[in-house]
Amino acid sequence: MSLHPEAQDRNARLSAISPTVLEALSPLGKRSFFPKGIPFQSGQAKDCRINATIGQITDGSGNPIPLAPIAEKLTSLPTKDVFLYTPIQGREQSRAAWHKKLTEEDARMASVGLGQVTAGICHAISMGADLFFSDGDTIVLPDLYWDNYDQIFNIRLNGKMVTYPFYREDGGFNYDGLKHALASVKGKVHTILNFPSNPTGFSPTHEDMSKIAEVVIEAARDRIVVAFCDDAYHGLVYEKTAATKSLFFELIEKHPNLVPLKCDGITKEIAFFGGRVAFLHFGVSKEVSDILVDKCKGLIRAGIGGTVSISQVLLETELADPRHTAEVERVRLILEDRYLALKQALSKPSRHWSVLPFNGGCFCLLKLRDGIDAEALRQKLIKDESVGIVSQGQKHIRLAFCSMRKEDIFPLIEALERACS
């Protein structure tokens, strides 16, 4: 299949300024570009006296004609912003507001271009994979990982998955395991790191985070490494020893062969689960990032068409509100209270399980003793105790303390003990 001239143009620009990033792209990534179709042409005509470009119903002057039952519920929001299409890359206000938030967290973010708005963090990871993950590529990840990575990299993209033990013997993150797993893959390799982790609820120490970055950078000395930073639970840590900053900041422009991707969003960070707004940032030069965002726009246009306007407007409203920081801390403290209650409830040793180290996020993972099957236990808890948990493989169960009342935590552990017995 011959490349479209527009794709050839984007790839030629990449070749001139970052040939390694061009080489890192998947075949789909190389084919992708934002076409000069309806959204592009509409953007050029947005200030025209008469605009007969885009297919959205307006009063002829650029204002929507909403239905009253919906409009009445949204009287405090700007009608034009929430009822009409948003740019394919996302609202500039949202992109700039989120980028400002990240730059305030770490000044190194200032060198990174504005991100692509996506329909949730899973979509950000999936779109990053579309850009860089070729059929049969390998991704390195810890053995305890979010099960949707299977769907994204293995089922959807026919990738190979190489795992290493999540924990060291002392309970810290196994960066040596990451190093050896990366070394076992010849040529281009991908890795994904999720802190605080789903399902373990674990975030490395500040020292370990620096060592993880060193491992990833070292792996890129002689071949391409695409590093996905899944920051879905960013900020939700409850111990002073746990790293609070994203690994992504440690990887920005650290080696020409290294392509870091930051996938984050509003789902957990501002507790807006139904908003479905996230961001995909590229830890490369702004010039290269802009070309990659152009390719993302092509993928968005060919997939979901565009992102949700109203959620982005609400995001902007939230970040601009002077109460924002205090509100984020209020929610974090609610979770910290439940975390401490769960730690206390699990402090009594049990012959039925061992508690894997956790210090953040929304979850705790228990490793069951031999003879107990996680799925059978899950079914028994539903039937006999009216208690829901998640089975993680055959030997582990995940407890989501984020969705429980504090007063239900001790009864949960008691029910778990009865079911195991």
The answer to whether 192 touches 139, Cβ cutoff 8 Å, is yes
Q: Report the pLDDT value the prediction gives residue 187, as an integer from 0 to 100.
A: 96
DSSP state of 353: E
Q: Write the CA distances from 132 to 29, 129, 248, 326, 382, integer angstroms.
A: 6, 5, 17, 38, 41
Exposure string of 268-278, with b = 16+ CB inside 10 Å and e = fewer, is bbbbbeebbbb
| pLDDT tens, residue by residue, 141-157 | 999 999 999 999 999 99
With tokens 């991707």, the residue in question is 261
**Is 172 strand, coil or helix?**
coil
The answer to whether 227 touches 392, Cβ cutoff 8 Å, is no
Helix locations, 140-232, DSSP H: 148-149, 175-183, 206-219
Q: Report the pLDDT value the prediction gives residue 39, as an integer from 0 to 100.
A: 85
Of the listed ranges 45-49, 93-97, 361-365, the one predicted with least confidence: 45-49
How many helices (DSSP H) and strands (DSSP E) are in the chain?
18, 11
* pLDDT beyond 90 at 326: yes
* pLDDT beyond 80 at 403: yes
Which CATH number applies to 88-320?
Answer: 3.40.640.10
Residues in Cβ contact with 253 at an 8 Å cutoff, skipping those fewer than 6 apart:
111, 283, 284, 285
Q: Report the pLDDT value the prediction gives residue 124, as an integer from 0 to 100.
A: 98
* H or E segment to which residue 288 belongs: helix 286-302
C-alpha 64/C-alpha 416 separation (Å) is: 54
Query: What are the structural domain ranges in the chain?
Result: 88-320, 325-420
Residues in Cβ contact with 287 at an 8 Å cutoff, skipping those fewer than 6 apart:
17, 113
| pLDDT tens, residue by residue, 24-44 | 999 999 999 999 888 889 888
Residues in Cβ contact with 231 at an 8 Å cutoff, skipping those fewer than 6 apart:
121, 194, 195, 246, 248, 262, 263, 264
The answer to whether 389 touches 381, Cβ cutoff 8 Å, is yes
The answer to whether 107 touches 88, Cβ cutoff 8 Å, is no
Looking at the chain, the whole-number percentage of residues with pLDDT higher than 70 is: 100
Q: What are residue 345's phi and psi, to 5 degrees?
A: -65, -30
Read off the pLDDT of each residue in 359-364 and give the average, rounded to a whole number: 97
Looking at the chain, the whole-number percentage of residues with pLDDT higher than 90 is: 93
Q: Report the pLDDT value the prediction gives residue 270, as an integer from 0 to 100.
A: 95
Q: Report the pLDDT value the prediction gives residue 81, as an integer from 0 to 100.
A: 95
C-alpha 289/C-alpha 188 separation (Å) is: 20
Read off the pLDDT of each residue in 387-396 and give the average, rounded to a whole number: 96
**Is 58 strand, coil or helix?**
strand
Dihedral sign (CA 143, 144, 146, 151): positive
Q: What are residue 9's phi and psi, to 5 degrees?
A: -60, -50
Banded model confidence at residue 61, pLDDT cuts 50, 70, 90 = confident
Which CATH number applies to 325-420?
Answer: 3.90.1150.10
- Read off the pTM: 0.96
Dihedral sign (CA 280, 282, 286, 289): negative
Query: What are residue 118's DSSP bridge partners?
Result: 278
* pLDDT beyond 80 at 1: no
| pLDDT tens, residue by residue, 62-84 | 899 999 999 999 999 999 999 99
Q: What are residue 255's phi and psi, to 5 degrees?
A: -160, 140
CA-wise closest residue to 405 among 328, 330, 344, 335: 335
